[in-house]
Amino acid sequence: MRRLKKIILFSVIGLVLIIFVILGIEATFQRQTQDLIYKEISEIPHSETVIILGASVHADGKLSPILKDRVDTAIKLYENGIVENFLVTGDHRSDDYNEVAAMTNYLQKNGIDKSLITSDHAGLDTYDSMYRAGRVFNIEDAIVVTQNFHLPRTLFIAQNLGLDYHGFAADQSAYQTEYRLKQREKLANLKALWEVLLKKKPHSLQAFIH
C-alpha cells in the first residue's frame, strides 16, 4: 500500500511539473512576441508580403472557416495598401488534398491577380512554412496572418530563424473547434521549441512554385 501511495504521489508531481512546463513555454512565447503582433489594421506598417498559413480545406475545395478568415484578412491588408503580394503556404502532400490551390483559387476569385501570388506547396507545418518563407522564398519583411492563438508560436519560430516578421490576427468569427485548437496549441509549442533548439531543417528545401 505504501509503495502504491508513493507511485501515485510521484505521478501527480510529475503531471503537475509537465503542466507547469507547458504553461511556462506558452507564457514565454507570448511575452517574447507580444510587441510583434498588431491589434489594429491602422497600426501595421507597410510590408512587401503577407504570408497566409494553411489550414484545413473541405473535400470540395472550400476553405474551412479558420482558413477563410486568414485569406479574407490578407485581402483586407492588400486592399488597404499595407502589402503588395501574397505567399500562400500549406499542405499539399497528396493529389486529393491541396490547401495552397484552394487559397490561390479563393484569392483569384476575389480579385487578386495570379502574378501577385507565390505558392509554397511544402509548408507542411508552421515551422516549415516560416523556414521556407525566409530561406527558400527569400522573404525578409512580412506580415503573417493567422488566428491570435497561433501567432505567438508562429512569430517565436520566425524570430528564432532571424526573420523580421510581424503578425496580425485573423479572428473575424468564433470557431466551433477553437477550444480544442487552443489546447492543441499548447502541445504544438513544445514541438516548436524542440525544432528551434535543434535548428531543424524542413521536409523540403525545393521551391515547388506552381
- Predicted confidence at residue 23, as pLDDT, reads 74
| Alpha carbons 170 and 108: distance in angstroms, whole number | 19
Q: How many CA atoms lie within 13 A of 86 on its CB side?
A: 31
Task: With cut-offs at 50, 70 and 90, classify the pLDDT of residue 210.
Answer: very low
| Alpha carbons 70 and 141: distance in angstroms, whole number | 18
Q: Which residue has the higher pLDDT, 164 or 173?
A: 164
- Global pTM reads 0.86
- Predicted confidence at residue 193, as pLDDT, reads 87
* CATH (residue range 2-198): 3.40.50.620
Residue 83 contacts residue 143 (beta carbons within 8 Å): yes
Q: Round the average pLDDT of the chain to a whole number and report it.
A: 87
**Cell numbers 490551390 correspond to what residue?**
101
* H or E segment and range at residue 76: helix 65-79
**Eight-state DSSP code of residue 42:** G
Give which of 149, 169, 175, 148 is closest to 66, Cα–Cα: 175
Amino acid at 28: T
- Predicted confidence at residue 59, as pLDDT, reads 82
For the ranges 62-71, 134-143, 172-181, 184-193, which has the lowest average pLDDT?
A: 172-181
Residues across the chain? 210
Q: Determine how β-strand 117-120 pairs with β-strand 85-89.
A: parallel
178 conformational bin, left if phi > 0, alpha if psi -120 to 50, beta if neither = alpha
Mapping DSSP to helix (H, G, I), strand (E, B) and coil, where does residue 53 land? Answer: strand
User: What cell was used for 46?
Assistant: 507597410
- Predicted confidence at residue 131, as pLDDT, reads 95
- Predicted confidence at residue 132, as pLDDT, reads 95
| Alpha carbons 15 and 86: distance in angstroms, whole number | 43
